[in-house]
């Protein structure tokens, strides 16, 4: 713009702005950056001079910049800070112990032995600022350091620069209040310019979400904090870990019910709930047809504002070009409008359909839990899939598991490598396992017509089944058919394949289709084209995995050869992940 705007009365203004912003960008210690309101004021001055004296030349470009500055300020994108509740709890316990050892009277000697209610009462009334330098524990220093970073970002870029702290695996009101107290102890003062966002992930946590929020809304200190935040509470719901924990149907239904109960309790206290959905790429992580999902939510779920994550290759495929981005934004907006206009007609679930959905979810959940508890489940993932190779690719946004222990523990396993490993096997278990079993229950009872009627009446159920259909479309058991004869895992592979066949047969019967995704030929053609591209790489990957297993069985394994085959697995992962629109 500086090259274009060389007009009288403008050139000097834009030169001064450029120099000021550039100098402060390369040298953050200068502290001479002009304020954001002043910067906006100068841009409007430039606009007015163009209109009055220069025939509005380059006016569109100036308007575009003004819009960008209005949206993004100096910060460009708001930074969310996120930490696991279990880490927080350990950090807080260490903080309390250290403060007590250093003679602080902030916490009673028996604080850690008090009940949750008593601890919350104490946390609600904290106001002292503590000296962070007294803490030696590395995780305590990092956690408090991230809180200090929010303060620094807000000082430099305003509140929009960073104003949210997300608590992963949030289980109790105490988890939220410990975070709330850490901000107070870090010297944020009476008005906390940060939203504390609980993330409910497991099936059990989703069930308890409303009671947790009720406890928080009833707390005077937290209630006053929400008043300062315009009586809005952001609540995050995790599709990924919910599916990993309870299977596809149970996770989606648990989130739906949690949203209903959270909406009800929030409205009761005069709070607007803002649902922040942790949606990944594939259906198993809350992906799939996002517009259909939001269009299917009924009037019992708050929808004044929604927030969602867009992850992995979904970012580039949905928003990588101007045309794709505009189309997908319009799809989301139209979903909100149609839900608002027609929610009572198509999306208000009847008592009968609610009962059916509960039954389907419970049946599916039991089938998935039994599968997850199978003695071959973890060994199969560890030995026959690419699970352990995700960490070696170094392309994930997070570590492949939460703890640093050697053994594979299901609770520590992160959703991305978990879902991704099934995707690499072309088995896509998290997107369908348990669905077939649940549908078959009704077929066996001679009541399948009830499901077909439910499918016709409910957009939610239709969207749910449609996304599972997509997961089935991306499954290709011919790739791993050799496992059928494996001495150790043959029966386990057959168990998965049988559920796949049952799910596919009954979903087609439910929808009245002869082939998967029959109503979406463009989407199916897109999937088929990408699957053909990745199949050679997947075949190479399976060959390499098989050779590694054979070599490891030898008395003196050829470690050099194993490393070569491991590199083949890792390199093929790059290609497969990049070629798949929503691999994980």
pLDDT in tens, 88-115: 999 999 999 999 999 888 998 999 999 9
Q: Is the dihedral of CA 360, 365, 368, 374 positive or negative?
A: negative
Angle at 103 between CA 97 and CA 105, to 5 degrees: 80
All residues at 6 or more sequence positions from 59 whose CB lies less than 8 Å from its CB, including other chains: 47, 50, 51
DSSP string, 348-406: S--HHHHHHHHHHHHHHHHHHHHHHTSTTHHHHHHHHSSGGGHHHHT-SSS-SBSS--S
Average pLDDT over residues 12-28: 92
**Distance of alpha carbon 558 from alpha carbon 260, whole angstroms:** 57
> Is 70 exceeded by the pLDDT of residue 312?
no
**Distance of alpha carbon 410 from alpha carbon 558, whole angstroms:** 30
Q: From residue 119, give the alpha-carbon distance in Å to each of 93, 102, 347.
A: 12, 20, 42
- 350-395 tens-digit pLDDT: 899 999 999 999 999 999 999 999 999 999 998 899 888 876 766 5
Average pLDDT, the chain: 89
**What three-state secondary structure class fits 29?**
coil
Percent pLDDT > 70 in the chain is 92
Give the model's pLDDT for residue 364: 96
Angle at 176 between CA 172 and CA 177, to 5 degrees: 105
Q: CA torsion angle for 526, 531, 537, 539 (degrees, to 10)?
A: -170
Average pLDDT over residues 332-354: 79
- 509-560 tens-digit pLDDT: 999 999 999 988 988 898 888 888 889 999 999 999 999 988 988 888 899 9
> Is 80 exceeded by the pLDDT of residue 9?
yes
- 36-62 tens-digit pLDDT: 999 999 999 999 999 999 999 999 999
* Helix, strand, coil abundance in the chain, percent, nearest 5: 65, 5, 30
Instruction: Indicate the pairing of strand 272-278 with strand 195-200.
Output: unpaired
Angle at 226 between CA 222 and CA 231, to 5 degrees: 145
Give the model's confidence band at 83: pLDDT under 50 very low, under 70 low, under 90 confident, else very high.
very high
In terms of Cα–Cα distance, which of 584, 158, 90, 184 is closest to 386? 584
> Is 80 exceeded by the pLDDT of residue 288?
no
Helices (H), 385-473: 390-393, 415-424, 435-444, 448-457, 459-473
CB hemisphere CA count around 409 (13 angstroms):
9
Backbone φ and ψ for 343, nearest 5 degrees, come out as -60, -35
Beta bridge partners of 166: 82, 197
Give the model's pLDDT for residue 238: 80
- 434-447 tens-digit pLDDT: 999 999 999 999 99
Taking the model in full, what pTM does it have?
Answer: 0.85
> Is 90 exceeded by the pLDDT of residue 279?
no
Angle at 135 between CA 131 and CA 139, to 5 degrees: 125
> Is 70 exceeded by the pLDDT of residue 335?
yes
**321-350 b/e with 16+ CB inside 10 Å = b?**
eeeeeeebeebbeebbebbeeebeebbebe
Give the model's pLDDT for residue 308: 83
Give the model's pLDDT for residue 320: 86
Is residue 235 within 8 A of residue 213, CB to CB? The reply is: yes
Give the model's confidence band at 117: pLDDT under 50 very low, under 70 low, under 90 confident, else very high.
very high
Give the model's pLDDT for residue 326: 93
Percent pLDDT > 90 in the chain is 61
Give the model's pLDDT for residue 144: 94
**Distance of alpha carbon 570 from alpha carbon 279, whole angstroms:** 26
> Is 60 exceeded by the pLDDT of residue 286?
no
Is residue 159 within 8 A of residue 195, CB to CB? The reply is: no
Average pLDDT over residues 176-205: 92
Give the model's pLDDT for residue 287: 57
Out of 127-136, 254-263, 365-374, 428-437, least confident range: 127-136
Is residue 284 within 8 A of residue 243, CB to CB? The reply is: yes
> Is 80 exceeded by the pLDDT of residue 465?
yes
């Amino acid at each position: 713009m500086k090259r274009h705007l060389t007009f009288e009365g403008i050139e000097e203004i834009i030169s001064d702005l450029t120099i000021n912003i550039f100098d402060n960008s390369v040298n953050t210690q200068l502290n001479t950056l002009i304020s954001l309101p002043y910067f906006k004021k100068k841009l409007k001055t430039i606009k007015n001079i163009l209109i009055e004296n220069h025939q509005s030349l380059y006016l569109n470009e100036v308007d575009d910049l003004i819009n960008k500055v209005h949206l993004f300020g100096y910060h460009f994108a708001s930074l969310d800070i996120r930490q696991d509740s279990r880490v927080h709890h350990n950090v807080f316990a260490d903080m309390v112990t250290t403060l007590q050892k250093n003679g602080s009277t902030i916490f009673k000697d028996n604080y850690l032995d008090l009940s949750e209610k008593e601890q919350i009462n104490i946390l609600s009334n904290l106001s002292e600022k503590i000296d962070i330098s007294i803490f030696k524990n590395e995780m305590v220093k990092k956690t408090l350091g991230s809180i200090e970073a929010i303060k620094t970002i807000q000082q430099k870029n305003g509140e929009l620069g960073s104003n949210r702290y997300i608590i992963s695996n949030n289980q109790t009101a105490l988890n939220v209040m410990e975070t709330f107290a850490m901000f107070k102890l870090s010297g944020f003062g009476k008005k906390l310019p940060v939203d504390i966002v609980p993330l409910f992930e497991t099936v059990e946590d989703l069930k308890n979400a409303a009671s947790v929020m009720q406890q928080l809304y009833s707390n005077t200190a937290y209630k006053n904090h929400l008043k300062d935040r315009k009586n809005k509470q952001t609540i995050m719901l995790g599709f990924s870990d919910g599916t990993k924990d309870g299977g596809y149907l149970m996770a989606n239904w648990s989130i739906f019910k949690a949203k209903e109960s959270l909406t009800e309790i929030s409205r009761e206290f005069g709070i607007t709930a803002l649902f922040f959905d942790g949606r990944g790429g594939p259906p198993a992580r809350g992906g799939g047809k996002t517009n259909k999902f939001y269009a299917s939510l009924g009037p019992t779920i708050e929808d004044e504002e929604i927030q969602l994550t867009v992850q992995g290759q979904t970012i580039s495929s949905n928003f990588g070009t101007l045309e794709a981005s505009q189309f997908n934004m319009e799809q989301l907006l139209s979903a909100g409008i149609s839900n608002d206009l027609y929610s009572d007609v198509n999306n208000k679930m009847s008592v009968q359909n609610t009962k059916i959905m509960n039954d389907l979810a419970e049946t599916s959940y039991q089938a998935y839990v039994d599968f997850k508890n199978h003695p071959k489940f973890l060994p199969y993932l560890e030995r026959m899939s690419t699970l352990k190779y995700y960490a070696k690719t170094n392309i994930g946004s997070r570590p492949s598991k939460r703890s640093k222990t050697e053994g594979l523990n299901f609770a520590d396993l992160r959703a991305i490598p978990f879902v991704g490993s099934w995707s690499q096997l072309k088995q896509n278990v998290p997107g369908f396992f348990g669905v077939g079993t649940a549908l078959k229950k009704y077929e066996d009872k001679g009541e399948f017509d009830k499901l077909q009627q439910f499918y016709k009446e409910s957009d939610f159920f239709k969207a749910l089944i449609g996304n599972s259909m997509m997961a089935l479309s991306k499954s290709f058991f011919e790739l791993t058919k050799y496992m059928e004869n494996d001495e150790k895992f043959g029966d386990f592979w057959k168990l998965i394949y049988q559920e796949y066949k049952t799910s596919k047969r009954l979903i087609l019967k439910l929808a009245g289709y002869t082939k998967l995704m029959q109503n979406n030929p463009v989407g199916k053609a897109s999937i088929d084209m990408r699957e053909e591209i990745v199949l050679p790489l997947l075949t190479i990957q399976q060959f390499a995995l098989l050779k590694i297993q054979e070599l490891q069985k030898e008395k003196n394994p050829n470690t050099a050869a194993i490393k070569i085959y491991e590199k083949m697995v890792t390199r093929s992962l790059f290609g497969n992940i990049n070629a798949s629109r929503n691999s994980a």
